[in-house]
Amino acid sequence: MFLLIILHLFYGVSYSSIKRGVKILSANIVEIRGLSFSRGSKVIFDNASLDIPRGKVTAIMGPSGCGKTTLLRLIGAQISPDTGSISVQGKDITKLSNKELFRMRRDMGMLFQSGALFTDLSVYENVAFPLREHTDLPESMIRDLVLMKLQAVGLRGAHTLMPSQLSGGMSRRVALARAIALDPAFIMYDEPFTGQDPISMGVIVQLVRLLNDALKISSILVSHDIHETISIADNVFLIANGKVVGAGSPEELMDSADPWVRQFMQGLPDGPVPFHYPSQSYSDDLWGNVEC
C-alpha cells in the first residue's frame, strides 16, 4: 500500500491501474482442502489440507521427494490437482480462466531454486522484465522501481552486470529483486539456501525475513535446511507420505514427540523414514540367493 501511495502522489498513477480494486483480506493467503495429486502410480499428496496465514513466513519442510516443490507448482497453478481445492486470495485457482489466472499471478512472486535469470539480459533488465510484461508504466518509473528493488537486496551497484558475472549468492539476490518487482501479495521460495556459502546464506536468510516484514507480504518457504529455516519461520508444515504430519511454530515442532516430526527435525538417520532401502533378506543376498 505504501508503494501505491508513492506512485499516486509522485507519478500521478491511479490506484486502479496498479491494483484492480481493494478487497477485504482473509486471515489466510492460501487455503488448501482435500488435496490429492499423483504422478503415475506415485502418490504425492493424499487428501492433504493446510492454511498458509497472511503476513507470516511459513515454511514447508519434509524429506527429499515428498512434494515440497510440487506444492508450490500447484499453488501457482502450473499443474492441477487430481482432487481438492486450492484457494489463493479467496479464489479457487482450479476454476479460474487463463485470463483470470494470468492476472492473479501478478500477486505471486517466485524465487526459483536455480534463480532462473535470463542469461542474455543484464541485472537491470532482468528486474525490469515483469514490470514491462505486466504493466504499462513509463520508463522513468520502471527505472526508479528497478533501482529500489536492487537497493533492497544490496545490489543497486551491480545493475549493469550480466548474470554470467554474478556469484551464486548474487544471482539469487537478483532473482529475489525480480520476484518483488510487482509488489506481490506473497512470495514463494523454492530451496533458496541450496548451494550457498555461509555468508550468502546468511544474507538470503536475513532478506527473506526483512522483506516479509518491511513489505507487509506473506512468504512461503520450501526448504530442508532446518537451522536456517526455523530461525526465520513463524509457522512450519512438515510433509511426509502425502500428508501433513506436523504443523505449528518452530518451537512446537522441535519439541514434538511424534516420530515423523522428531526424526526430521533432529536429523535422525533411522525412524519412520528407514535408513535401508526395501530389499530381500540380507542373508539371502550374502548367500547368493538373490539375482543381482
Domain that holds residue 200: 27-266
Asked if the structure places residue 115 within a domain, the reply is yes
Number of structural domains found in the chain:
1
Asked if the structure places residue 19 within a domain, the reply is no
Asked if the structure places residue 163 within a domain, the reply is yes
Q: What is the model's pLDDT at position 11? A: 47
Burial code of 246-272, b = ≥16 C-beta within 10 A, e = fewer?
bbeebeebeebeeebbbbbbeeeeeeb
Q: What is the model's pLDDT at position 14? A: 43
Q: What is the model's pLDDT at position 199? A: 81
List the end-to-end C-alpha distance of the chain, in Å, as a whole number. 64
Asked if the structure places residue 258 within a domain, the reply is yes
Q: What is the model's pLDDT at position 16? A: 46
Q: What is the model's pLDDT at position 267? A: 77
Q: What is the model's pLDDT at position 17? A: 47
User: For residue 153, what is the domain's CATH number?
Assistant: 3.40.50.300
What are the mean pLDDT values of the chain's consecutive 10-residue runs (292 residues total)? Answer: 50 46 67 91 90 93 85 90 90 86 84 83 93 88 92 89 88 89 89 81 86 89 87 92 89 86 79 69 69 58
Question: In angstroms, rounded to a whole number, what is the distance separating the alpha carbons of residues 8 and 3?
Answer: 9
Asked if the structure places residue 9 within a domain, the reply is no
Asked if the structure places residue 102 within a domain, the reply is yes
Asked if the structure places residue 178 within a domain, the reply is yes
CA-wise closest residue to 67 among 87, 88, 82: 82
Q: What is the model's pLDDT at position 202? A: 85
Q: What is the model's pLDDT at position 241? A: 85
Asked if the structure places residue 182 within a domain, the reply is yes
Q: What is the model's pLDDT at position 122? A: 93
Q: What is the model's pLDDT at position 204? A: 84
HSE-up of 252 (CA within 13 Å, CB side)? 10
